[in-house]
């Protein structure tokens, strides 16, 4: 769907660190999703877990827990790691050079026919297989 976007941990880290142009694009989509029911933002819980461990390593567990609590307030639907999603991600991992967590973001993009928002080179490399928006080169819209 043209109004469906999948966020990976990279996208939210860019938002949290206010890295432009990525942060501007993610912020714009979050604002649009609050007012437009046609905009759907999705994220795998596996990718949220990835964000948790990254923030925990950099800023401590308390900050990571607060970050997750803040993210849960965003207009973002968190996708459960169902058996079907686990094996879809595993198949992508078996077929491509990417981390297991990244495979969940890619699998969600395929499942929901949504644009994967990332700056991760491993995921950008999949642009021939699924719709990917390189947040390193995005402009807020």
The predicted structure's pLDDT at residue 64: 97
Q: Is residue 80 part of a domain?
A: yes
Q: Is residue 31 part of a domain?
A: yes
Q: Is residue 86 part of a domain?
A: yes
The predicted structure's pLDDT at residue 97: 93
Burial of 124 (0-12, 13-18, 19+ CB in 10 A): middle
Q: Is residue 140 part of a domain?
A: no
Please state the three-class secondary structure of 58-126 as a single string. Answer: HHCHHHHHHHHHHHCCCCCEEECCCHHHHHHHHHHHHHCCCCHHHHHHHHHHHHHCCEEEECCHHHHCC
What residues of the chain score a pLDDT lower than 70?
1, 138-141
Q: Is residue 139 part of a domain?
A: no
Distance CA 91, CA 95 (A): 6
The predicted structure's pLDDT at residue 2: 72
Determine the structural domain holding residue 33 and report its residue range: 4-134
Find the CATH number of the domain harbouring 124.
3.40.50.1010
State the greatest distance between any 2 C-alpha atoms of the chain, in Å, as a whole number: 39
Q: How many domains does the chain have?
A: 1
Q: What is the per-residue pLDDT across 42-64, written as a single tens digit (0 to 9) for each?
A: 999 999 999 999 999 999 999 99
- Single out the residue of 11, 9, 10 nearest to residue 26, CA to CA: 11
Q: Is residue 141 part of a domain?
A: no
């Amino acid at each position: 769907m043209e109004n469906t976007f999948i966020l990976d941990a990279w996208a939210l880290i860019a938002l949290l660190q206010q890295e432009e142009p990525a942060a501007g694009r993610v912020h714009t989509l979050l604002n649009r999703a609050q007012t437009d029911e046609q905009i759907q933002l999705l994220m795998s819980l596996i990718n949220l877990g990835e964000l948790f461990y990254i923030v925990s390593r950099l800023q401590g567990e308390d900050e990571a827990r607060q970050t997750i609590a803040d993210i849960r307030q965003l207009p973002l639907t968190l996708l459960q790691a169902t058996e079907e999603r686990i094996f879809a991600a595993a198949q992508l991992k078996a077929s491509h050079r990417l981390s297991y967590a990244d495979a969940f973001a890619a699998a969600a993009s395929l499942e929901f026919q949504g644009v994967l928002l990332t700056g991760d080179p491993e995921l950008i490399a999949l642009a021939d297989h699924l719709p990917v928006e390189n947040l390193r080169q995005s402009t807020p819209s």
